[in-house]
Amino acid sequence: MSLIDVNGSLCYQSAPLQPSQNRELWSAIQNTLVADTYLNRSAALLGGSIRIPTEVYDEMGPIGDDPSWTVFGQFHDYLLASFPQTHASLRLTTVNTYGLVYHWQGSNESLKPLLLTAHQDVVPVNPDTFDEWEHPPYSGYYDGTFIWGRGSIDDKSSLISIMTAVETLLKHRFHPTRTIVIAFGFDEEASGLEGASAISRYLLSEYGENAFSMLVDEGGAIETQYGGVFALPAIAEKGYLDVQLDVSAPGGHSSVPPPHTTIGMLASMLVAYEASAPSARLQRDSPMYTHAQCLAAHAPDLPARLREAIVGSATSDSALRRAEKELLKDATFRALISTTQAVDLIAGGVKANALPERATAVVNHRIATDSSVAAVQERTASVLKPIAARYNLSLTAFGVDIDSEEPSYGKLTLSDPWKTALEPAPITPAGPHDAPFQLLSGTIKATYDSHRASPGRENVNVIPSLGSGNTDTQFYWKLTPHIFRYSHYIGGPGSGMDKIHTVNEACLADSLVEMIRFYILLILNADESNAI
């Protein structure tokens, strides 16, 4: 089978999509985008946003009581001053004080609106690491290549790109046919319980279920894999579950210890739990199987035996298992297709000579798309039940008491400590006839081509992927079945992507302008589409 045939059968690629009705407008905007003044202005806008430290923490008091929230008011003032035409032309609704929803009314109300989202908040910077930063974490310093600081990539680059795209379109007198809605949450890094959760309820009340043509939020970037250049929009996200193990037993003086303290019992449970981690399986109906098919179709350096196995796996179970065996050698791929678990927190004891009456640990799970919260809970209880019985501990698993035949020495309690359990996200349709995905794909290709056109340059291929974490889209499932997590940032070595959430986070200025180009083109293409 030739590579052309493989391309057609395994991973359809749409053509680059340029606006037709707004061709002259797009041409004029492109002339603006290539100017150094535009790049410098965009870098300055992102830098200014970074200088407002919109940090959120896992535990914060109510809005209005906890002063940590008030920094978002300063951020709103910055957006108002930086994007005057946007605020003069779009209707702004604040949700739960700090959530922002902009409505850009289109002339044709029969068209479903386009929804663009991002988040205002950033993860905190550990004060102990300040001296490790090449430029201070909230300096927003621009060195001519990078804009430095916390949130420069995650996720103020998306937010500033969206706002700059709208401001640019307004300056060129663009009037949309399709309504555009822009929503910015403010606690995505703390699970979105105050921001996107409230915004979702507002949008449902304002527009209704399945009211939007498509949604684009932060997510996948453009990366090189096996010698090919790939844009990786995530069409689903894994589920989420924290499990707390709480072992309690009588205390006392450590000079007369029992055979096992609560800490010892907990330790043996964690060892057993890690030893029985869920197996990773490649399933034909999963996003990562589609991802693998696209690699077989478009990655020139994919090993021939792996390519052959992936191609054959569509009809052969033995080929599927061969492909699985090879693909699982990649730790990232393995993590994406399986339910992962990580022991991240542990506590116990208060004094060296006092037996600990309680020991706890928290295990974080990212749930595979073919599994569920209930399946993980059931597995956890089944793995730990015999160990609890060995130590004569009663077991309560997620609110259900599991009977013990003998009087209990102590107790093991399993729980979801912060009530943040989340099922795997619905999978967004991404086939050749799914218009929203094809519009997104064509826009990605046209953006890439127009921004970095050069002789001999590799074409970009758009392949569905999977989000390993959870974005604000977890609250937006009812708004549209066409949800894409994609940022159009150019990743890879030297891009700064490896510095997200850590020291020296920095955004490439050139990638920032390309992101702005992407959002402008997405708005124009969606505006002309009758298929979404």
Task: Convert the pLDDT of each residue in 347-388 to its tens digit.
Answer: 999 999 999 999 999 999 999 999 999 999 999 999 999 999
Is 154 annotated to bind a ligand? Reply is yes
5 is catalytic: no
How far is Cα 123 from Cα 187, in angstroms, rounded to an integer? 9
Q: Does domain 21-219+472-528 have CATH number 3.40.630.10?
A: yes
Per-residue HEC secondary structure of 165-182 comes to HHHHHHHCCCCCCCCEEE
Contact 111, 105 (CB under 8 A): no
Residue whose entry in the numeric block shows the structure tokens 């959530």: 99
What pLDDT sits at residue 4? 33
Q: Give the model's pLDDT for residue 195.
A: 98
Q: Is the dihedral of CA 156, 481, 182, 422 positive or negative?
A: negative
* pLDDT score, position 406: 72
State both tokens at 164. 């700059």
- Residue pointed to by tokens 């409505």: 103
> Any idea what DSSP says for residue 527?
H
Q: pTM for the whole thing? A: 0.95
- Of the candidates 155, 188, 194, 472, the residue annotated as catalytic is 188
pLDDT at 456: 60
Q: Is 217 annotated as a binding residue?
A: yes
Across-strand partners of 473? Answer: none
Q: How many other C-beta atoms are found inside a 10 Å radius of the C-beta of residue 4?
A: 9
Domain ranges of the chain: 21-219+472-528, 239-278+339-424
Rounded to whole angstroms, the maximal C-alpha distance in the chain is 85
Residue 429: phi and psi, rounded to 5, are: -60, 135
How many angstroms separate the CA atoms of 140 and 147, rounded?
6
62 residue type, one letter:
P
- Distance between CA atoms of residues 35 and 40, nearest Å: 9
Question: Do 250 and 391 form a contact (C-beta atoms < 8 A)?
Answer: no
Tell the CATH topology of 239-278+339-424. Answer: Alpha-Beta Plaits (3.30.70)
pLDDT digits (tens, 9 = 90+) for 190-228: 999 999 999 999 999 999 999 999 999 999 999 999 999
Give the angle 12-16-22 at the CA atoms, nearest 5°: 140
Concatenated DSSP letters of 292-345 = HHHHHHH-TTS-HHHHHHHHHTTT-HHHHHHHHHHHTTSHHHHHHHS-EEEEEE
Burial classification of residue 21, based on how many CB atoms lie within 10 Å of its CB (0-12 exposed, 13-18 middle, 19 or more buried): exposed
Q: Which residues of 318-335 are buried (b: 16+ CB within 10 A; e: fewer)?
A: ebbebbbebbbeeeebbb
pLDDT of residue 502: 96
Q: Is 188 a catalytic residue?
A: yes
Low-confidence stretches of the chain (pLDDT < 70) are 1-9, 404, 453-456
* Cα 82-84-505 angle, rounded to 5 deg: 25
What pLDDT, on the 0 to 100 scale, is given for residue 281?
A: 95
